[in-house]
């Protein structure tokens, strides 16, 4: 794992570095400081594949925040009802689609048990809890005094201090950049006499769709098991949840004893004695005996990795602007960059809440990959994007081709709500959404603009070929108009229209045309023939629908701007707009759209639209909108519709800022309000 971390560091350093801006000074000026635990969000350290969230003690003493990973998943036992005992028993539902029955992965009322199992499994699990043990004393957070906690963003270090029973405790918390290991350094006189120790505890998995702010069931001790193996200065705890098994390898400095579990719990206690300091490393793994490096080495590795992270790639400095909006925007930028590296730089696309807690059972959504991941490329951090892209599409290609073939199409139909196996969870929206289909073209084209090499062309070629084949196969030739239509049945981006009436949605039509255009260019760049069907469908796609000089959600949509049920959720029509309609469409969105129901990436999308229309002040207004909030540590607030954090907000914020910092083709350069003093480094124009 250490070799992997070294390779990663070198890869990140290949991005050109700049020295004009004092990046360390800018970054550290936004170090979060807390004096009490939050009830909703932790302070985190992590490496993109593994994250550890803490309360005010620097551990998980009073708040059971998550320890989540890319690999930590669990399946509940399958149903035992006859005909519903295996995923192979799931049959989905048939819908009429242009004169034929097509089978979609949707929950079938005739087989509710296996349908629900397919939706709910697997779930991402909380690997465990680490907190302070205060001997035989019952201690709550209110018993602590002089509490303070600072997250040093530049080194990935949480420094926590507090007093308990009159004695000071100082804690430093880190995560290894190259393994699923958390390192903890503790200083306190309470350690000498055995009055202070560290506990380890384990929850059962939860079947809830959303587990926030905490993940797991802590009172179901009889439904899972743990066991302890110990030797001098190290121990291993094995955790069995149904058929899922993983290991916690613990190693420490000095003299200490570990025992447990306590009665009717899965809690183990490490009790040091004789020294006022304790260095501790805890590694979580699917493999046994995977001890991590010692804490001091992890502290250095963390500092080195984070310094490389901040000093390479693109950067923006708004701190010379004497403007509170600029200061708040800079805070959001810096904290988002930190949290996305902690939560969203893994081997798979991230779930909406990253590695903080669980939403949608911990699964990730393929329609959201651009919002979650494309900012890495736009900020020049390609090594982090390449951890998952295009590898995820390569892994999912067989199941996506199988999905298309089963429905009577060619090519690869990408799923929606997915787990690492490539299976898409059943659901009406899950099976009828299509805007994830052109994403590979957007990701690939952005990469080719930065790396116009044969290697880029070849590694994306099969993914793009199979994506285009499905897009052409899915488009339906309408003999009455002479155009190729999209849908029905389908759901557009907004997910709020009747699927059997929805066809030719504005955004999806524009994105389909973009994808097929890039598909043809991809073949031309390799001196390969372009399939005639690609060109024919691209040239004959239905035109973008227009109602009263504005773009509706879909063609012939009734009462587009007068029915309150149509002007809420994601206003995707603001993307890919062309003059002169964009101004009128944008004005209609602003004046008539239900902003109370917007959330997350809606606001950066509107900001990018405003920037392209020459309204940087309006763009900033969207990025600082009251409905687009970030808490004190930079966690994007989900609101009433989605749990906190909702990280598509953070990724899309960075995408919008990258566009405003680098401009776009034909209009290069920064776009910020008049009077702001803006320094930018390393940004390229957007598509």
Residue 446 falls within a domain, yes or no?
A: yes
Whole-structure pTM value: 0.93
Q: How many CB atoms lie within 10 A of CB 630?
A: 21
Q: Which residues contact 581 (CB under 8 A, 6 or more apart)?
A: 546, 549, 550, 551
Helix/strand/coil for 459: helix
Query: Residue 104 corresponds to which tokens in the numbers above?
Result: 């979609």
pLDDT of residue 641: 80
**Which of the pair, 569 or 459, is modelled with greater confidence?**
459
The whole-number average pLDDT for the span 88-97 is: 97
Mean pLDDT across 572-585:
45
Same domain (yes/no): 60, 163? yes
CA distance 686 to 656: 10
The distance in angstroms from the start CA to the end CA of the chain is: 37
Give 578's pLDDT tier (boundaries 50, 70, 90).
very low
Distance from C-alpha of 349 to C-alpha of 355, rounded to nearest angstrom: 11
> Does residue 568 form part of some domain?
yes
Provide the pLDDT confidence category of residue 591 given band limits of 50, 70 and 90: low
Q: Which domain covers residue 93, as residue numbers?
A: 87-120
What is the mean predicted confidence (pLDDT) over 139-157? Answer: 99
| End-of-domain residue from the set 309, 333, 352 | 309
Instruction: With a cut of 50, say whether residue 140 has pLDDT above it.
Output: yes
113 and 188 both lie in a single domain: no
Q: Which of 287, 256, 270 is nearest to 179 (CA)?
A: 287
CATH of the domain at 188: 2.70.98.50
Q: Say if residue 442 is in the same domain as residue 560.
A: yes
The token pair at 218 is 């802590």
Q: Which residue has the tokens 């009665």?
A: 263
Rounded CA separation 538/532 (Å): 10
Residues 94 and 231 in one domain: no
Q: What is the pLDDT of residues 601-610, one digit of tens each?
A: 999 999 999 9
pLDDT at residue 566 is higher than 70: no
CA 9/CA 97 separation, integer angstroms = 50
H-only helix segments in 540-641: 581-592, 602-612, 616-623
CATH code, domain carrying 455: 1.50.10.10
Asked if residue 102 is part of any domain, the answer here is yes
Percent of the chain predicted with pLDDT > 90: 87
Element of type H or E holding 277:
strand 277-285
Residue 554 lies in a domain: yes
Instruction: Indicate whether 181 and 235 sit together in one domain.
Output: yes
Q: 308 CB contacts (<8 Å, ≥6 apart)? A: 9, 12, 13
Tally of domains in the chain: 3
Q: Rounded to the nearest 5°, which phi and psi values hold at 580?
A: -90, -10
Q: Which band of pLDDT confidence, cut at 50, 70 and 90, is reported for residue 158?
A: very high
* Domain endpoint, select from 274, 309, 344: 309
Could you tell me which residues come within 8 angstroms of residue 676 by beta carbon, excluding any fewer than 6 positions away? 318, 321, 323, 326
Shared-domain flag, residues 230 and 94: no
280 and 298 in a common domain: yes
- Which residues make beta-bridge pairs with 241? 244
Residues 147 and 114 in one domain: no
Beta bridge partners of 247: 238, 285
- Strand pairing class (210-211; 315-317): unpaired
Residue 369 to residues 1, 302, 440, 686, Cα–Cα distance (Å): 26, 27, 9, 17
Q: Which tokens go with 95?
A: 């819908």
**Is position 425 within any domain?**
no
- The total number of residues shown for the chain amounts to 687
Residue 576 has pLDDT above 50, yes or no: no
Contact 497, 554 (CB under 8 A): yes
How far is residue 537's CA from residue 556's CA, in Å, rounded to a whole number? 21
> Same domain for 115 and 218?
no
Domain stops at, among 548, 571, 597: 597
Q: What is the mean pLDDT of residues 86-104?
A: 97
Q: What is the pLDDT of residues 199-228, one digit of tens each?
A: 999 999 999 999 999 999 999 999 999 999
With respect to residue 654, please indicate whether it lies within any of the assigned structural domains. no
Mean pLDDT of all residues in 308-331: 98
Same-domain pairing of 63 and 98? no
Sheet holding 50-54, edge to edge: 43-46, 50-54, 67-69
């Amino acid at each position: 794992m250490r070799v992997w971390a070294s390779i990663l560091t070198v890869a990140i350093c290949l991005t050109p570095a700049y020295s004009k801006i004092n990046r360390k000074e800018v970054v550290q000026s936004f170090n979060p400081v807390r004096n009490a635990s939050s009830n909703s969000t932790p302070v985190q350290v992590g490496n993109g594949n593994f994250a550890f969230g803490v309360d005010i003690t620097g551990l998980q003493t009073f708040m059971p925040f998550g320890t989540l990973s890319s690999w930590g998943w669990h399946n509940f036992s399958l149903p035992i009802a006859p005909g519903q005992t295996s995923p192979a028993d799931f049959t989905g539902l048939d819908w009429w689609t242009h004169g034929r029955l097509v089978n979609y992965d949707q929950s079938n009322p005739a087989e509710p048990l296996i349908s629900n199992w397919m939706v709910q499994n697997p779930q991402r699990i909380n690997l465990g809890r680490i907190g302070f043990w205060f001997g035989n004393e019952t201690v709550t957070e209110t018993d602590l005094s002089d509490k303070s906690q600072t997250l040093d963003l530049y080194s990935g270090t949480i420094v926590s201090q507090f007093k308990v029973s009159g004695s000071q405790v100082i804690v430093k918390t880190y995560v290894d950049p190259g393994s699923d290991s958390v390192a903890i350094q503790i200083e306190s006189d309470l350690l000498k006499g055995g009055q202070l120790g560290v506990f380890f505890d384990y929850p059962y998995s939860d079947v809830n769709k959303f587990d926030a702010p905490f993940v797991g069931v802590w009172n179901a001790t009889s439904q899972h098991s743990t066991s302890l193996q110990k030797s001098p200065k190290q121990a291993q705890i094995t955790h069995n949840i149904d058929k899922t098994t993983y290991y916690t390898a613990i190693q420490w400095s000095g003299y200490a004893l570990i025992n447990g579990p306590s009665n009717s719990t899965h809690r183990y206690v490490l009790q040091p004695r004789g020294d006022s300091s304790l260095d501790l490393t805890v590694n979580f793994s699917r493999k046994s005996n995977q001890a991590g490096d010692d804490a001091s080495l992890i502290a250095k590795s963390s500092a080195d990795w984070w310094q490389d992270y901040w000093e390479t790639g693109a950067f923006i400095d708004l701190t010379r602007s004497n403007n509170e909006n600029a200061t708040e925007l800079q805070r959001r930028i810096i904290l988002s960059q930190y949290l996305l590296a902690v939560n969203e730089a893994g081997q798979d696309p991230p779930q909406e809440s990253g590695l903080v807690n669980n939403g949608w059972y911990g699964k990730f959504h393929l329609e959201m990959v651009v919002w979650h991941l494309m900012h890495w490329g736009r900020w020049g951090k390609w090594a982090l994007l390449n951890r998952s892209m295009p590898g995820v599409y390569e892994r999912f290609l067989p199941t996506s081709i199988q999905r298309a073939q089963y429905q009577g199409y060619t090519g690869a139909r990408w799923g929606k709500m997915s787990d690492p196996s490539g299976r898409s969870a059943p659901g009406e929206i899950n099976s009828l959404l299509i805007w994830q289909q052109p994403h590979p073209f957007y990701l690939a084209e952005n990469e080719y603009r930065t790396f116009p090499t044969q290697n880029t062309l070849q590694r994306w070629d099969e993914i793009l070929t199979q994506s285009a084949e499905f897009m052409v196969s899915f488009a339906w030739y309408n003999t009455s108009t002479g155009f190729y239509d999209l849908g029905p049945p389908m759901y557009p981006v907004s997910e709020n229209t009747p699927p059997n009436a929805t066809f030719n949605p504005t955004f999806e039509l524009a994105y389909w045309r973009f994808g097929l255009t890039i598909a043809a260019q991809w073949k031309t760049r390799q001196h390969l023939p372009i399939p005639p069907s690609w060109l024919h469908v691209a040239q004959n796609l239905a035109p973008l629908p227009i109602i009263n000089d504005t773009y509706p959600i879909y063609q012939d949509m009734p009462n587009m701007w007068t029915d309150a049920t149509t002007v809420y959720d994601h206003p995707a029509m603001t993307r890919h707009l062309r003059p002169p309609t964009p101004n009128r469409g944008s004005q209609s969105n602003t004046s008539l759209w239900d902003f109370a129901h917007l959330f997350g990436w809606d606001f950066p999308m509107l900001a990018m639209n405003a920037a392209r229309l020459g309204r940087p002040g309006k763009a900033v207004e969207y990025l600082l909108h009251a409905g687009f909030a970030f808490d004190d540590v930079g966690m994007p607030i989900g609101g009433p519709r989605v749990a906190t954090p909702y990280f598509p907000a953070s990724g899309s914020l960075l995408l919008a800022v990258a566009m405003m910092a680098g401009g776009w083709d034909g209009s290069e350069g920064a776009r910020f309000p008049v009077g702001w003093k803006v320094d930018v480094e390393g940004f390229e124009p957007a598509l």
